[in-house]
């Protein structure tokens, strides 16, 4: 940039994008100074190197804005994994409320991690925990697909539900066999 460019001749591009041609570096620097702009080396490996007359501060600012926007877009594409915790002796109303929340998360496009932790003597009746998790999966099957089957890790059972795709399933017509 500016006086850090050490090559004697460059190919210069004006601020409006028009080609000024091959010229001495100090002449291009003088042109940039007259316009109140900077001389920025764009392609140092070309023969001769390509430099552009531009407002470098504005250029950096717009590049930073583009990066921010790209990060923002990337964040919207990454789905969050929400976690819903259960116990093997969950009451009916609590269960229904949690299932409603799970369906809301799935409709918003998030994945849901189901976890059930055993406390104390509950560990002796692991089948009750698996029944709760399988019941949740069955109640959410209209909006969810199981991405990870329930499995026991230590004193916990984990399962992951993902969003069911919106693809149309082939339907069975009157008397005709189903396709697929």
Give residue-wise pLDDT tens across range 3-31.
Answer: 778 888 999 998 888 888 899 888 889 98
Give residue-wise pLDDT tens across range 43-68.
Answer: 888 888 899 999 888 888 999 999 99
pTM comes to 0.50
3-class secondary-structure state, position 173:
coil
**Angle made by CA atoms 7, 13, 18, in degrees to the nearest 5:** 160
Could you give the domains of the chain?
Answer: 2-73 (3.10.20.80), 81-163 (3.30.110.10)
DSSP string, 3-57: GG---SEEEEE-TTS-EEEEEEHHHHHHHHHHHT-EEEEEETTSSSPEEEEE-HH
How far is it, in rounded angstroms, from Cα 50 to Cα 111? 49
């Amino acid at each position: 940039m500016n006086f850090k460019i050490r090559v004697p001749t460059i190919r210069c591009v004006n601020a409006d994008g028009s080609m000024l041609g091959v010229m001495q570096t100090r002449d291009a620097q003088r042109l940039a100074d007259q316009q109140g702009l900077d001389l920025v080396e764009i392609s140092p490996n070309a023969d001769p190197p390509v430099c552009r007359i531009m407002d470098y501060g504005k250029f950096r600012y717009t590049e930073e804005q583009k990066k921010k926007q790209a990060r923002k877009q990337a964040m919207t594409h990454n789905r969050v994994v929400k976690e819903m915790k259960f116990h093997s002796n969950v009451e009916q109303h609590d269960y229904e409320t949690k299932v409603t929340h799970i369906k809301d998360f799935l409709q918003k496009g998030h994945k849901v991690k189901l976890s059930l932790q055993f406390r104390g003597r509950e560990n002796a009746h692991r089948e009750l925990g698996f029944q709760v998790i399988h019941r949740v999966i069955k109640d959410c099957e209209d909006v969810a697909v199981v991405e990870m089957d329930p499995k026991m890790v230590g004193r916990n059972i984990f399962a992951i539900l993902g969003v069911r795709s919106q693809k149309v399933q082939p339907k069975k017509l009157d008397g005709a066999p189903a396709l697929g």
